[in-house]
A = this chain, B = another copy of it.
Amino acid sequence: MKESIAIDMDGVMANVEKHFVDWYNERHQENVSIQDIQGKSEANAFPEPGIIKKYASTEDFFRTAPVMTGAVDAVKKLNEHFEVYVVSAAMEFPQSLVEKREWLKEHFPFINWRQIVFCGSKNVIKADYMIDDHPKNLDPFKGKKILFEAFHNLEVNKFQRVKNWKDVLDYFEL
């Protein structure tokens, strides 16, 4: 039987880091760079607090998010060797449910509906591996935990860290 991997969407398959910066600059005529938000918390990443929650609640944000570099090829490869589940904490933002479903269909058409999970808490998720950018999701997980690097988790050092999808494939020796 194949081992299973639970893969997070935002910050892992979808490059929401870039998307937040782009949306902010466009709406505030600013020039915040990706570099500027490194090491900051999600709540205080931008000069105006709460931007991330605001955009995450806004129609079209998730539907138009760019794909993380290398994600499509890497997930495709993982999907050949593992039982892959895409597990997204989408429930906090109900407008994102359909958008995320459509986004996956467009960018990851080889992921079928049986492999998708939209949840609130990830406490209820069981798999052999979890790839996620949020320590709060990895903490209660019982399998092997892989932290995908993001601006808000640079100082976390209790998990196996991957910086990008190349690192993920190296980790799984693919």
Contacts and interface: CB of A to CB of B under 8 A. Distances in A.
Contact of A97 (B83, B98, B119): B98
Contact of A91 (B116, B121, B123): B116
A117 interface: yes
Given A6-B124, A124-B85, A125-B126, A116 B114 contact: no
User: What range describes how many residues of A lie at the interface?
Assistant: 20 to 34
Contact of A121 (B92, B115, B123): B115
B92 A123 contact: no
Contacts of A113: 91-92, 94, 120
Q: What is the total number of copies of this protein in its complex?
A: 2
Contacts of A127: 124
A4 interface: yes
A142 interface: yes
Contacts of A126: 124-126, 142
Nearest to A101: B94
A69 interface: no
B118 A112 contact: no
A101 B92 contact: no
Interface in A115-173: 115-121, 123-127, 142
A87 interface: yes
14 contacts: A4-B123, A85-B121, A85-B124, A91-B113, A94-B98, A112-B120, A114-B120, A115-B120, A116-B119, A117-B117, A117-B119, A117-B120, A124-B125, A126-B126
Interface of A: 4, 6, 83, 85, 87, 91-92, 94, 97-98, 101, 112-121, 123-127, 142
